[in-house]
Amino acid sequence: MANVRIIGRMDIKGPNLIKGIRLEGLRVIGDPRVIAKKYYEAGIDELIYIDIVASLYGRNSLADIVAHTAQEVFVPLTVGGGIRSVDDVMTLLRAGADKIAINTAVVRRPALITEVAQRFGSQCMVLSIEAKRKPGGGWEAYVENGREHTGLDAVEWAIRGTELGAGEILLTSVDQEGTRKGFDCELVNAISSVVPIPVVASGGMGTVKHMLDVMTKGKADAVAIADALHYDRIPLAEMRAAALDAGVHVRRP
Amino acid sequence: MSIVTVIDYGIGNLFSVRRSFEHCGFEVKLTDSPAGVLKAEFLVLPGVGAFRDGMQGLTQRNLVEPIREYARAGRPMLGICLGMQMLLDVSEEFGEHEGLGLIPGRVVPISQHGTHGEAHKIPHIGWNELVAPNVNSGFHDPIMNGVTAGSSAYFVHSFNAVPTGEEYRVADCYYDGIRIAATVRSNHTFGCQFHPEKSGSIGLSIIRNILNSHLW
C-alpha cells in the first residue's frame, strides 16, 4: 500500500479553530490560519478543514480562511461543511482547496457526488461519513454533526458513494470523536476492506498506539488527527517514528 | 524570466498551481489561446481528470499544434500530473487516445496488484519517495538540485506514464514494487507526475529549478 498519511483535522466555527467531544461541546483553540502554518512547517501530510456551522460565504467565512491558508501552505487541503452545489465547490477550489468533503448534501441528493466528480475529477470529491454504532450491530450514517439520523447503513453508503464517483472517504466515528479512547477500528476496517478508494479514519486518537491500531487493524489509508495535535499532546515526529518502528510506512520528511 | 504562462483549458483546478508559482517569485498569466501559447516564455500544462477530456479541452481550443510547435522549438515547458501524461504519444485510458507526442512513450493503467501479487488501492494517492532511475545513485539532473533521493512528493493518479527510453527518466517512485515515472524530461520539455505545488518545500524546490532551468 501507499504510505499512510497523517492529516491534521481542523474543525472551524466562525473565525476560530475549535474542538469538541463527539462533535459537540466546543472549545476554542485559536486562529486556524496560524495553526495550519505551524502544522505545515512541522511536516503534516495534509490538512482537512470542516466548518461545523457551514458558513461558506461572507467575511471570516470558510472560503476566506482557506484563501489565507493556501497562501502559505503547500500540502493538500480538503475543505468541507455546508457545501450544497457544484458552485459551492467552485468557490472553495478558487479559494485554494484541493478536495471537497460533503456529507449532508450528498445524503439528500447522491447525484451531487457524480456531478462534482465529473466536473473536477474523482480525486476532488471526498465523501464525508459520520458513523454511529447501531444497537443491533453495524453503523448508521448521520448528518448535522452526528445529530440527525439518515437511516443509511454506513458501509452500504460508502460502497454506493464510491460507485457514484467519490475518490476518497473521510470516515468520522461519532462515538469516538474527541473521547481520546481510540479509533473505531472495526468501523474503519469494515469500510476500508470493501471500497477500492482510500479511507481517512477520524475520531478518537488518544495515544500513539491508537493510531497504530487504526493503521494496522483498521487498514486506514490515512488518519485525521485533531485533539492530539491541537493540545500538543503528541508531537508529529513522535507519531512518524512510532509508525516506522511498527513497520507501518509513513512519509519520512 | 519571470512570467509563467499556464494553459487554462477548462479542466481541473489552476489555483493551487498558480499560487505556488507566485510563491516562488514568478508572475503567472493564464491563456486559452494559440497566440498566448506561442508567445509564452515558459509554458505550464496542468491538469487532473481523464486523458481524453484533457486532449479534447486542448483540441477544442486549437491548442494542440501550437503547443507542439512551441515545444519542438526547444522552448521550456512543464506538464503536471495529467499534463505530464499528455506529453507522451498515446494513452490507454478509456480506449486509445493520441497525446502531444513530445516525449516518446505510452500511458498505461497502474496494475491493480503490486509486484508480489498483493491488491492495492487505485488511485495511487499520497506521499511517495522520489528515487533516481538508477536506484543506487543520486539524482543527476540539475532540476533535482537540493532534493535528496528518498524525499517524498504527493501523488494522485491511476495511470502510469511510461517513457520508451531510460534517458527520459529524471526521477521514479515505486508503488508496491511497480515502477512509476515521477519526473521526465526531453530537452526543455519537463513533466511531473506528482503535484509539486502540493509537495511542501521539496515541491517548491523542484518548481524553482524547473522554471529557472532554461537560464542555465
pLDDT digits (tens, 9 = 90+) for A207-230: 999 999 999 999 999 999 999 999
A57 vs A196, more confident: A196
Tell me which residue of A187, A240, A229 sits closest to A5, measured CA to CA: A240
Question: In this model, does residue B12 exceed pLDDT 70?
Answer: no
Task: Give the CATH number, domain containing residue B183.
Answer: 3.40.50.880
Specify the pLDDT at position B28: 97
Average pLDDT over residues A118-126: 89
Question: In this model, does residue A98 exceed pLDDT 90?
Answer: yes
Nearest CB to A5; choose among B13, B16, B126: B126
Specify the pLDDT at position B34: 98
Which residues of chain A neighbour B23 with C-beta distances below 8 Å? 71-72, 74
A253 vs B123, more confident: B123
Looking at the complex, report in whole angstroms how far the Cα of residue B114 sits from the nearest Cα belonging to chain A: 8
Among all chains, which residue has been given the C-alpha cell 466528480?
A117
Of A53-62, A128-137, A206-215, B37-46, least confident by mean pLDDT is A53-62
Contact A5 B127 (CB under 8 A): yes
Average pLDDT over residues A150-173: 97
Specify the pLDDT at position B10: 81
Specify the pLDDT at position B122: 87
Chain B interface mutation, best of A100, A123, A192, A195, highest count of B Cβ atoms under 10 Å: A123
Number of structural domains (chain B) is 1
Q: Which CATH superfamily is domain A5-245 in?
A: Aldolase class I (3.20.20.70)
Nearest CB to B154; choose among A40, A76, A198: A76
pLDDT band at A146 (very low <50, low <70, confident <90, very high): confident
Tell me which residue of B23, B19, B75 sits closest to B46, measured CA to CA: B19
Contact A123 B123 (CB under 8 A): yes
Specify the pLDDT at position A24: 76
Of A3-12, A84-93, B30-39, least confident by mean pLDDT is A84-93
Question: In this model, does residue A141 exceed pLDDT 70?
Answer: yes
Which contiguous run of DSSP H or E holds residue B212?
Answer: helix B200-212
Domain map (residue ranges) of chain A: 5-245
pLDDT above 70 as % of chain A: 98
Asked if A52 contacts A226 with a C-beta cutoff of 8 angstroms, the reply is no
Average pLDDT over residues A157-164: 98
Q: What does the block give as the cell for B196?
A: 509539486
pLDDT band at A55 (very low <50, low <70, confident <90, very high): low
Q: What is the pLDDT of residues B157-184, one digit of tens each?
A: 999 999 999 999 999 999 999 999 999 9
The ipTM (two decimal places) reads 0.91
Which residues of chain A neighbour B203 with C-beta distances below 8 Å? 74
Specify the pLDDT at position A56: 58
Q: What is the pLDDT of residues B74-118, one digit of tens each?
A: 999 999 999 999 999 999 988 899 999 999 999 999 998 999 998
Specify the pLDDT at position B2: 83
Nearest CB to B121; choose among A71, A122, A197: A197
Which residues of chain A neighbour B155 with C-beta distances below 8 Å? 2
Q: What is the pLDDT of residues B192-212, one digit of tens each?
A: 999 999 999 999 999 999 998
Three-state secondary structure of chain A:
CCCEEEEEEEEEECCEEEEEECCEEEEEEECHHHHHHHHHHHCCCEEEEEECCCCCCCCCCHHHHHHHHHHHCCCCEEEECCCCCHHHHHHHHHHCCCEEEECHHHHHCCHHHHHHHHHHCHHHEEEEEEEEECCCCCEEEEECCCCEEEEEEHHHHHHHHHHHCCCEEEEEECCCCCCCCCCCHHHHHHHHCCCCCCEEEECCCCCHHHHHHHHHCCCCCEEEECHHHHCCCCCHHHHHHHHHHCCCCECCC
Which residues of chain B neighbour A123 with C-beta distances below 8 Å? 48, 123, 125, 156
A46, A130, A221, A227: the catalytic one is A130
Average pLDDT over residues B37-63: 94
Q: Provide the whole-model pTM.
A: 0.94
pLDDT band at B126 (very low <50, low <70, confident <90, very high): very high
Contact A123 B156 (CB under 8 A): yes
Which residue range is the domain that position B190 belongs to? Answer: 3-215
Average pLDDT over residues A118-123: 86
Which residue is closest to B148 within chain A, CA to CA? A253
Question: In this model, does residue B1 exceed pLDDT 60?
Answer: no
Is A31 labeled as catalytic in the residue annotation?
no
- Residues B26 and B104: their CA atoms lie apart, in Å, by 30
Average pLDDT over residues B134-157: 90
Looking at the complex, report in whole angstroms how far the Cα of residue B128 sits from the nearest Cα belonging to chain A: 7
Looking at the complex, report in whole angstroms how far the Cα of residue A24 sits from the nearest Cα belonging to chain B: 31
Q: Work out the mean pLDDT of chain B and round it to a whole number.
A: 93
Chain A interface mutation, best of B56, B125, B192, B199, highest count of A Cβ atoms under 10 Å: B125
Is A238 labeled as catalytic in the residue annotation?
no
Which residues of chain B neighbour A6 with C-beta distances below 8 Å? none
Of A132-141, B33-42, B130-139, least confident by mean pLDDT is B130-139
Beta strands, E only, chain B: 3-7, 27-31, 43-45, 77-80, 90-91, 97-98, 105-109, 124-129, 152-157, 159-163, 169-175, 178-186, 189-192
Contact A3 B126 (CB under 8 A): yes
Question: In this model, does residue A58 exceed pLDDT 90?
Answer: no
A15 CB near a chain B CB, below 8 Å?
no
Among all chains, which residue has been given the C-alpha cell 485510458?
B93
